[in-house]
Amino acid sequence: MPEIPKSPVVPLHEVPPADTSPYRPTVLVVDDESLIADTLTEILSRNGYAAMTAYDGEEALDLAMVTPPELLITDVVLPGMSGVELALAVRHIFPECKVLLFSGQVSKTDLMTKAWGLGHRFTLLQKPLHPKELLAKVAESLEVESRANA
What does the chain come to in residues? 150
Q: State the Cα–Cα distance between residues 20 and 131, nearest whole angstrom.
A: 18
Report the pLDDT value the prediction gives residue 147, as an integer from 0 to 100. Answer: 43
Residue 16: inside a domain: no
Number of domains in the chain: 1
**DSSP string of 92-148?**
HH-TT-EEEEEESSS--HHHHHHHHHTT---EEEESS--HHHHHHHHHHHHHHHHHH
Residue 68: inside a domain: yes
* Mean pLDDT along residues 112-132: 73
Q: Which DSSP state fits 1? A: -
pLDDT digits (tens, 9 = 90+) for 30-66: 999 999 999 999 999 999 999 999 999 999 999 999 9
Q: 38-42, 47-51, 98-102, 107-111: lowest mean pLDDT where?
A: 107-111
Residue 19: inside a domain: no
Residue 129: inside a domain: yes
User: Domain with 105 in it: what CATH number?
Assistant: 3.40.50.2300
* pTM of this structure: 0.77
**DSSP string of 42-85?**
HHHHHTT-EEEEESSHHHHHHHHHHS--SEEEEES--SSS-HHH
Residue 70: inside a domain: yes
Counting residues of the chain whose pLDDT is more than 90, the rounded percentage is 54
CB 50 within 8 A of CB 25: yes
Residue 67: inside a domain: yes
pLDDT digits (tens, 9 = 90+) for 15-36: 666 655 677 899 999 999 999 9
Domain span including residue 124:
24-149
- What is the Rg, in whole angstroms, of the alpha carbon atoms belonging to the chain? 15
Residue 12: inside a domain: no
Residue 133: inside a domain: yes
